[in-house]
């Protein structure tokens, strides 16, 4: 019998989709170091990078039964790690700006963190509730695009739709969400301006 090291990525994917832990371990061994290095170039924080790479592999394992590979495995993993790293940076920048703004008003660090966490949670709940109000197919396409990080082409292939239909559905969903969130964002901005 061949050792797992001699299997191709596609063969390993087929095996790990069938709950083969050894195949998944081989994928981890094969790519974790390179993914770590790639994420470290972006984040420059060893602990954050370790958590991020671990999260990508945990998500891959948890979604193994539904996992469909439309590109190559290495490309998929690198894109997932890059997207998570960029999202982490974006989140850190927003948090930093928000903290700096509130500190100008002599607000304590505890109040800053508490206020930020509450507002972030409220915003996530509001966005999720509006996403859940979208038509089923539009919601499915948006989630595949924004949460599963699939390209329009990958979504089109998986759902047997044209790429232009997928793009139109994503754009329409984002327009709907933007309109629904405008009122909340205006109130949020006014509150921040009142703190100045």
Q: Which CATH number is 7-104 given? A: 1.10.1740.10
Q: Whose CA is closest to 142, among 162, 123, 121, 128?
A: 128
Query: DSSP secondary-structure letter at 151?
Result: -
Token readout for 188 is 């949020």
Query: How far is 38 from 152, CA to CA, in rounded Å?
Result: 24
pLDDT reported for residue 106: 54
Give the global pTM: 0.49
pLDDT reported for residue 71: 78
- Judged by DSSP in three states, 134 sits in coil
Domain ranges of the chain: 7-104, 108-196
Helix residue ranges, H only, the chain: 9-17, 21-43, 46-62, 73-103, 109-132, 136-146, 152-159, 163-195
Query: How far is 107 from 97, CA to CA, in rounded Å?
Result: 14
pLDDT reported for residue 103: 63
Evaluate whether 42 touches 64 at the Cβ level (below 8 Å).
no
Token readout for 128 is 């999720």
- Topology alike, domains 7-104 and 108-196: no
Token pair 């439309």 is found at 70
Q: Whose CA is closest to 16, among 34, 30, 33?
A: 30
pLDDT reported for residue 192: 60
* Centroid of chain to Cα 97: 22
- Judged by DSSP in three states, 47 sits in helix
Query: How far is 29 from 32, CA to CA, in rounded Å?
Result: 6
pLDDT reported for residue 120: 74
Q: Which CATH number is 108-196 given? A: 1.10.10.10
pLDDT reported for residue 114: 72
Token readout for 65 is 């039964």
Residues of the chain with pLDDT under 50: 1, 196
pLDDT reported for residue 161: 93
């Amino acid at each position: 019998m061949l050792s797992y090291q001699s299997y191709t990525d596609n063969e390993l994917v087929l095996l790990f989709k069938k709950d083969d832990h050894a195949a998944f371990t081989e994928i981890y061994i094969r790519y974790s170091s390179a993914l770590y290095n790639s994420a470290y170039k972006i984040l420059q924080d060893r602990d954050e990078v370790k958590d991020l790479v671990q999260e990508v592999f945990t998500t891959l394992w948890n979604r193994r039964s539904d996992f469909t590979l439309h590109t190559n495995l290495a490309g998929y993993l690198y894109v997932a790690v890059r997207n998570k790293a960029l999202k982490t940076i974006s989140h850190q920048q927003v948090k930093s700006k928000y903290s700096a703004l509130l500190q100008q008003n002599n607000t304590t660090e505890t109040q800053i963190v508490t206020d930020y966490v509450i507002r972030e949670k409220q915003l996530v709940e509001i966005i999720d509730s509006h996403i859940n109000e979208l038509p089923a197919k539009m919601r499915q396409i948006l989630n595949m695009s924004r949460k599963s990080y699939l390209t329009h082409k990958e979504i089109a292939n998986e759902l047997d739709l044209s790429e232009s239909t997928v793009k139109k559905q994503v754009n329409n969903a984002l327009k709907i969400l933007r309109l629904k969130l405008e009122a909340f964002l205006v109130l949020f901005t006014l509150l921040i301006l009142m703190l100045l």
